[in-house]
A and B are shown apart, each in its own frame.
Chain A
């Protein structure tokens, strides 16, 4: 597997596509700026959302239990899963009970995190992602590169080719409306035939035992309303205390995500309709571990709007797949080490710490600070490559000793002035695409000494 730096280098090789990717996502960030500035109370809303989430996380156990009781009263069957494996098994057991061979699934980052598709496919169940972007990447055997815009790494030409291969659309047709219609016709059959529908959950309301699913395509509703069985999968951090809190979160979510005033469908599922079976799977999968870490607890406030993706200058120029995780971008980089430190040691370093992510975050997660904390944590665990630890030790030594620092600086400048080839070569990553700074004859300190 390529690390973030290697994968990004490959992505950037296609300069034109990188420009297109950067500009497309910047356009989304600009839309977000525009609509957020139409609300004088925007910053107050962020503050309120952040406090509600703080409060909820501090009392999560209580709210989860309240939710369970209310949901059961409403006739929803509630399941608890401690990890991805348990989640997948629970979902599979429900499907088996109903003899399902194919199911429709709307967007759920949790099921991506748990690798549910792979699990079910191995068990002989066909999973059909019904979100257009997700269906596209599913055809291509890829994972989403963005949590709101799963196929944002692809151009319409790419989609045309994929649909030609899988749906038999005419070769070379890249008309978005035509291709979308082809997907609709293709998905219609699955919607009508599936007896199980899986959806994600954006918000679960403790007060009422209902959950809210936000989509722009209506695919979650179509699936859930047609199927005999509805399974909703959610991470335990999706809880909010009261229905009225939605007045804060729904306003922030769509504006932050796509610059819309409201998501097209914000559907409340409170109880099964007659003859329907409704399940909800509450998944921990490392969330309680994160909850117990003071520095990282805040990451659980995330409402998956992806504003931090769109604003991140690194993400826009490296693409979601370079993060090799279901959730990419800045938020993904602080969530991933919780799952596997050693496999994700590169991600907290895939940032300049510019801080734009924390500024756009609708629930005020201190993303850039958590990136910094993860860097410390991972290096303390001894996950640095040997060369890096050595160079850091060397640096620490030089900077602790003024005499050695002066000498090293003097020697360094001497080398750069009289033997520049020693630094101006391909072993120096700075020099590959940048000139080195000019080495002045004397340092400031030696100038200052002579000035007196």
Chain B
């Protein structure tokens, strides 16, 4: 038969008569590991070219190479390659976990230092470089007000935009809008800050302030809403699409107009999902530093009025304390960072829990 001759010519045994294979025993892997790390230690300390970190790195590389060679001999090159790639993929996970664990550990260990009542009750007003106390009360106020106003602006706009895309949008214009919503999610936050700076702070705000540009928490809220808008449109759009068609058809069949169907049936059905999306957008906005720095200016004192005068925010507080020369500043920065992360993570986790209980997405 022609196929058999082809195989014979190629010299490749396509159909192995023996389906058995030798597996690399665990002992050999361990032996390879011991030899690899021993060799690495000998090289590194023998030549005096580094410390234990280099031993670990070099040992790991030697181990992977040794494992590949050993497996090639015993199991064949295909199985060895499979094994090596698996090791590399597992290594990638370990490698990524190390810095992230360090971030979490530092955040908690350094953050608890000033995690006291004073920190949450006082501002930085009249706190000099030699003062150990001082807090983030003003910054927390700023974050809450700015994010709150930004949400009030972005949510109606975003939900309406999503309604347009799902319920009314057809043709080229809708596709363009959809495309640019996606593109807009990638606009850097500093650009959003510069936009509000040039539009609101430098051009609009002088009208209300005797011709002088004025920083304000509201301007920060505007910038944050620019960042939140595409996220909200996108998540709401996805939720609206999950609302079953028959639900709508049922309403149409009863003669309910489309706008009423949307408001009374579609939106309530999708509401849990929409809330999830909004919470994720809020979490992201709360962590933004750059726009607040550019348009709210930052402040040391408490300012409850978002429409008048400088404000700070938690993220900006972290940034400013990080740049402060006082020896007490790092502790304040880390505690504020811990507070910020806690706020953001609570929002994110709550949003995800809500999503998990959402009947539409399940």
Q: Do A and B come from one complex?
A: no
B contact set with A: CB distance below 8 Å: none
A contact set with B: CB distance below 8 Å: none
